[in-house]
Amino acid sequence: MRVGVICVDPGHGGSDPGAVGPSGAKEKDINLDIALRLKSLFDERGVLCMLTRDKDEDVELEPRCRIANNGAAEVFVSIHCNAAASRDAYGTEVYCFPGSTKGYQLAKCISNELLPIVPVMRGIKEAEFYVLKNTIMPAVLVEVGFISNYTEEKALQSEGYRQLLAEAVGKGVYAYFGMAWPTPKDKVKVIVKGKEISATLIDGKTWVPLRQLVEAMNYTVEWDEITRTATVK
């Protein structure tokens, strides 16, 4: 068993700040920070993780789905902060597309890992959000907390808490693939044609994301969704 290609989607960005907390924290910044931490965790474990944005920029909803679909992602995780008119609303929710069995299973695995670290788990919910409807792989949208709630906004501004959230989501993805969360023993460098590739030494073996290796060798990978085949050219 292995962990497949992951696509992480930091919601909002650029001219779209998303929700703004009572002290001015912007959702787009929280989302991006958690996503970058999550990618780093996957990189350390030799898992290929793509982001729909890796900086503060505008990205429409359709390209976010296209990045995941064309990149042969096997799961899609969108990171968001919730907001409500009432400052009293708080807690964490995980959404999946209605009727998606695999999406629900992914949401359940992530929810189970979030449960011990969040103030309250509001459960798994279904919604026809654009990024859940238009991605072809199991997909979830994680509302990590209510940025409109002063207490949760303060927590989300903590680097330590954001790291815990990223780790919980990562562990949930691993659980979805039926694997335990590994602890990397050592980080190593692999240089291919002058390009450094992230790699991890686990149990005496060097793990390198295959797609990064292929692209470093100046090949391209084309994905055929009908046959579920990746072809190196």
Residue 181 lies in a domain: no
Domain finish residue from 130, 155, 176: 176
Which stretches does DSSP call E strand in 57-147? Answer: 75-82, 92-96, 121-126, 139-146
Question: Both 129 and 204 in a single domain?
Answer: no
Catalytic positions are: 143
Q: Out of 122-131, 168-177, 202-211, which region has the weakest mean confidence (pLDDT)?
A: 202-211
Question: Both 136 and 225 in a single domain?
Answer: no
Question: Both 19 and 127 in a single domain?
Answer: yes
Of the candidates 28, 7, 6, which has an alpha carbon nearest to the alpha carbon of residue 17? 28
Question: Both 163 and 210 in a single domain?
Answer: no
Burial label for 24, CB within 10 Å (0-12, 13-18, 19+), is exposed
Q: Which residues pair with 77 in a beta bridge?
A: 8, 140
Q: What is the pLDDT of residue 224?
A: 60
Residue 27 lies in a domain: yes
Strands 186-192 and 195-202, how do they pair?
antiparallel
Question: Both 211 and 164 in a single domain?
Answer: no
Q: CATH number, domain at 45?
A: 3.40.630.40
Higher pLDDT, 188 or 119: 119
Q: What is the pLDDT of residue 114?
A: 98
Question: Both 84 and 107 in a single domain?
Answer: yes
Residue 1 lies in a domain: no
Question: Both 130 and 149 in a single domain?
Answer: yes
Q: What is the pLDDT of residue 206?
A: 74
Contacts of 204 by beta carbon, 8 Å cutoff, 6+ apart = none
Domain finish residue from 176, 205, 220: 176
Count the alpha carbons within 13 Å of 24 in the hemisphere toward its beta carbon: 0
The pLDDT tens digits for 21-69 are 999 999 999 999 999 999 999 998 889 999 999 999 999 999 999 999 9
What the block records as the tokens of 18 is: 């998303």
Whether 176 shows a pLDDT value over 70: the answer reads yes
Q: What is the pLDDT of residue 227?
A: 61
Question: Both 26 and 64 in a single domain?
Answer: yes
Of the candidates 148, 90, 154, which has an alpha carbon nearest to the alpha carbon of residue 121? 90
Question: Both 50 and 163 in a single domain?
Answer: yes
The predicted model gives 113-125 an average pLDDT of 96
The predicted model gives 162-175 an average pLDDT of 98
Whether 210 shows a pLDDT value over 70: the answer reads no
- Three-state secondary-structure class, residue 45: coil
Q: Which domain holds residue 204?
A: 186-232
Count of domains forming the chain: 2
Whether 182 shows a pLDDT value over 90: the answer reads no
Strands 92-96 and 139-146, how do they pair?
antiparallel
| CA 189 to chain CA centroid, nearest Å | 24
Whether 185 shows a pLDDT value over 60: the answer reads no
